[in-house]
A and B are shown apart, each in its own frame.
Chain A
Amino acid sequence: MSKLKLIIKREYLAKVRNKSFVIMTFLSPILMVGMIVLIAFLTKVNDSEKRTIAVLNESDYFSNEFNASASVSYIKYKDLDLETAKDSTLSMGLYGLLYIPKEESLEKVSNGAFLYTKDNPVSYILERLERVFENRLRQDRLQKIGVSSEDFASIEKNFDIRTATFKGEENVKGLNMMKAFVGGAFGYLIMMFIIIYGGFVMRSVIEEKTSRIIEVIISSVKPFQLMLGKIIGTSLAGLTQFAIWIFSASLLLIVALLVLDIDLGVMASNPALTSNPMMNMPTPQESEMEFWAKEFFNLPLLLLLVSFIIYFILGYLIYSSIYAAIGAAVDNETDTQQFIFPIILPLMLAIYVGFFSVFSNPHGPIAVGFSLFPLTSPIVMLMRLPGGIGEGGVPLWQLVTSIVFLIITFLGIVWLAAKIYRVGILMYGKKTTYRELFKWLKY
């Protein structure tokens, strides 16, 4: 077996057998799923709390407008004065009292209505009650100008403008959101992977230094081989972890949802959890799932996958070799802070630029700049790419330039990192400064 393979195997096994790694691997999906289930469960519980409203209706209107629903029910008071009604509402522990006074017109009745509650009323109750009044008022006003409800309903229809590219392909609505979602997910995935597993590489280098095995090893293999083996072994362990996470999380999620009988649609339709009400919504004849599936397959999937792999590998190698160099330069983890911040910075920048600039204008100057700059391109370019290449998407030259820059940077950084690594691993007990690092490059 070649030495590189031996090193990769050892690093991989050392990582996956590590207790905290094993715990992380199997606990995280449970925690994650637990969290989703908990949120869904709480939302469900929240929604299922039924509130009762007492209605004291002295007017001639609203005799049968208040109908119980899943979340609200009504009790009608008769022949009580307002004070007694308030008292009995409180003593019965009801949520609130709706008072509708006796006036000569509907308008006046409505304006004189009051809702009494202990605290500020919850919004959905208020909305529901207001809607009752609104509907009733609208009917009344329509009647006055002589329009039937059916005519009004036929007028009040939403209108969607249809869009198409100049090539004539009809754009599917919601694609923008899908693009943003997929691009953002890829970008975020790369960042998380770099930070988590880059950190693992760094700690593994520090461990070899502090345990003093490093000199024994590099009398048998080249430092570069060791560094490379370490990076590859650790990332394979990372991929294993990711695969386990995705597989077990989805399995657990399905099981949990089936067992607890929770519909994720509850969450999705909850106005607090869906992001943007301005967005184009599905046309009514499609179910939501079908709609998103269709959107998803409208993305340039092959392009995305291939470029994800390219950007992921190059980006990860660049960053993890920097992490390895940092690990080599220090004696313990506490000394790493000053070096880590400058690495995290471009990653954070990439994510922020991605979310704030790329989604709104994927081909604007800032988006283009950051998708060419090698330290941010793995994240930013992937956020732009769901728009495809060529017309309307990322120009081909930008993609090619970005990858070429990335490869050049990759070679340069790995070369530099290997130099720092080679010198650093044999330096014990020194507090390293940037100046020192610069000097090492010349050794």
Chain B
Amino acid sequence: MSHILVAEGVSKKFGTHTALSNISLEIPKNCIYGLLGPNGAGKTTLIRIINQISFPDTGKVFFDGELLAPHHIAAIGYLPEERGLYKSMKVGEQALYLAQLKGLSKTEAKKRLKFWFEKFEIGDWWNKKIQELSKGMAQKIQFIVTVLHDPKLLIFDEPFSGFDPINANKIKDEILSLKEKGTSIIFSTHRMESVEELCEYITLLHESEKLLDGKLSDIKKAYKNNVFKIGLQTEGNIESLLQDLNEAFEITHSEFNTDEKQFDFTVKLPSDDTSIILKKLAALGNINHFNETIPSANDIFIQTVNSKNA
């Protein structure tokens, strides 16, 4: 079985409001899977269904090949977007409690907590109360508690909110190393920068529906529009050159630096065949850069949502 989680036609309504309509997903094992969408798209509802906090009206969810059942809770780790800790409880006690709720024995939980506390250099926090810690510090504890029971599937809902850039990077590294160890990860966000860096697969939800899903690189390929950014060093007459190019190709943007004889421009080609333009340019001067502009996840996100709304 190569999928950690499969959803088949999952729908959920709250009164008259539809939160999810007929969502089907396949989340491969040992990858980072991005669950994307604007606020209110249904991401949290879907995650809550996976965590068995709420249940679908119709449709089925399979975890590691089995129909989702209560005992799977111990194999899932969940860091919710709305997260917090008991303010007046001591850090260590609280972490132990949450770990035991996930099914770890007290001694095992203690051993693992020690390891993680040392790793994050927070060993001296054990007897502090949460209200004495900063938000970022509390977030670290939450992260540790989420991963402590070695879940097969980790679900992070906006994991970087509340972290400063340094600690956000630390957490990102931890997420990547967890993936290296074989954990499957669902990563829910509406921040696209982190998606580019982390996710291999994505699903885009919008207003309770799935707009697209698949491997991020495939999606990008599908969304690329044969636009290239080209730099050319040339001695020739720039005006006639531009006219010449304009007749053959669709130039969207151009810029000429007279001192350095540098001509930069953006061109949209009819297909992904670059041989014609390259041949032509090679005769005109020295090509010093030639880049295909690949749409960012953000572009795809906005483009798909807009075309759906239009």
The answer to whether A and B assemble together is yes
A216 touches B80 (CB 8 A): yes
Chain B neighbourhood of A216, CB < 8 A: 78, 80, 83-85, 98, 142, 145
Among the stretches B86-94, B120-128, B216-224, the one at the interface with A is B86-94
Contact (Cβ within 8 A) A219 B100: no
A3 touches B53 (CB 8 A): no
We find that the number of chain B residues with CB closer than 8 angstroms to chain A is 26
Cβ of B210 within 8 Å of any chain A Cβ, yes or no, is no
- Chain A residues with CB under 8 A of B145: 216
Contacts of A215 in B (CB 8 A): 53, 78, 80, 82-83
A426 to B86, CA, bound (A): 16
| Given A18-B88, A215-B53, A1:B73 Cβ within 8 A | no
| Known contacts A1-B100, A220-B101: A213-B86 contact under CB 8 Å | yes
Known contacts: A14-B89, A18-B88, A443-B14. The answer to whether A220 contacts B98 by CB under 8 A is: yes
Contact of B15 among A1, A7, A212, A442 (CB under 8 A): A442
Query: Closest B-chain residue to A7, C-beta based?
Result: B101
Query: CB distance A220 to B102 under 8 Å?
Result: yes
**Contacts A6-B101, A442-B15 given: A219-B73 contact, CB under 8 Å?**
yes
| Size category, A interface | 20 to 34
User: In the complex, which residues of chain B have a beta carbon less than 8 angstroms from the beta carbon of A439?
Assistant: 15
Partner among B14, B48, B76, B101 whose Cβ is within 8 Å of the Cβ of A217 = B101
Interchain nearest-CB distance for B90 vs A (Å):
10
B24: interface (CB < 8 Å): no
Q: Of A18, A218, A443, which contacts B53 at CB under 8 A?
A: A218
The residue from A10, A213, A221 contacting B84, defined by CB atoms under 8 A apart? A213
Assembled-state Cα–Cα distance A149/B70 (Å): 92
Greatest chain A CB density within 10 A among B85, B86, B145 is at B86
Minimum CB distance partner of A221 in chain B: B101
Asked whether A46 is an interface residue with its Cβ less than 8 Å from the other chain, the reply is no
* Shortest CB distance B49–A (Å): 12
Task: Please indicate the chain A residues that have their CB under 8 angstroms from the CB of B83 in the complex.
Answer: 212-213, 215-216
| Shortest Cβ distance from residue A337 to the other chain B in the assembled complex, whole angstroms | 24
B76 to chain A, nearest CB (A): 7
Chain B nearest Cβ from A200, distance in angstroms:
14
Specify which of B51, B80, B142 lies most central, judged by the most chain A CB atoms within 10 Å of its CB.
Answer: B80
The interface residues of chain B lying within 8 Å CB-to-CB of A63 are none
Cβ of A221: which chain B residues have Cβ within 8 Å of it? Answer: 101
**A426-B102 CB under 8 A given contacts A215-B80, A219-B73:** no
Residues of B within 8 A of A218 (CB): 53
Q: Which residues of A contact B100 (CB under 8 A)?
A: 1, 6
B116 surroundings in chain A (CB, below 8 A): none
Q: Is B62 an interface residue (CB 8 A)?
A: no
List residues of chain A with CB within 8 A of the CB of B86: 14, 207-208, 211, 213
User: Is A26 among interface residues, defined by CB-CB distance under 8 A?
Assistant: no
B30-74 interface code vs A (CB 8 A; 1 in, 0 out): 000000000000000000100111000000000000000010010
Q: Once the chains are docked, how many angstroms separate the CA of A356 from the CA of B125?
A: 58
Q: Is A415 an interface residue (CB 8 A)?
A: no
Q: Tell me if B78 and A219 are in contact (CB < 8 A).
A: yes
Point out the residue from A212, A220, A222, A223 that lies within 8 Å of B82, measured CB to CB. Answer: A212
* Residues A119-145 near B (CB distance < 8 A): none
B51 and A219 contact, CB distance less than 8 A: yes
Q: Could you tell me which residues of chain B, from 174 to 212, have a CB within 8 Å of some CB in chain A? A: none
Let me know if A152 is at the binding interface, CB within 8 A: no
A15 to B66, CA, bound (A): 40
Contact of B97 among A6, A211, A428 (CB under 8 A): A6
User: From residue A226, how far is it (CB to closest CB) to chain B in Å?
Assistant: 10
* Contact indicator per residue, chain A 402-443, by CB within 8 Å of chain B (1) or not (0): 000000000000000000000000101000000000010011
B185 to chain A, nearest CB (A): 16
Which of chain A's residues 195-217 have a Cβ closer than 8 Å to chain B? 207-208, 211-213, 215-217
- Looking at B15, B78, B85, B97, the one whose CB has the most chain A CB atoms below 10 A away is B97
With A211-B87, A428-B82 as contacts: A219 and B14 at CB distance below 8 Å: no
A300 to B102, CA, bound (A): 49
How far apart sit A212 and B79, CA to CA, in the bound complex (Å)? 11
Top 4 A-B pairs, shortest CB-CB distance = A212-B84, A220-B101, A215-B80, A211-B84
27 A/B residue pairs, CB under 8 Å, sorted by A: A1-B100, A6-B97, A6-B100, A7-B101, A14-B88, A14-B89, A207-B86, A211-B84, A211-B86, A211-B87, A212-B84, A215-B83, A216-B80, A216-B84, A216-B85, A216-B145, A219-B53, A219-B73, A219-B76, A219-B78, A219-B80, A220-B102, A221-B101, A428-B82, A439-B15, A442-B15, A443-B15
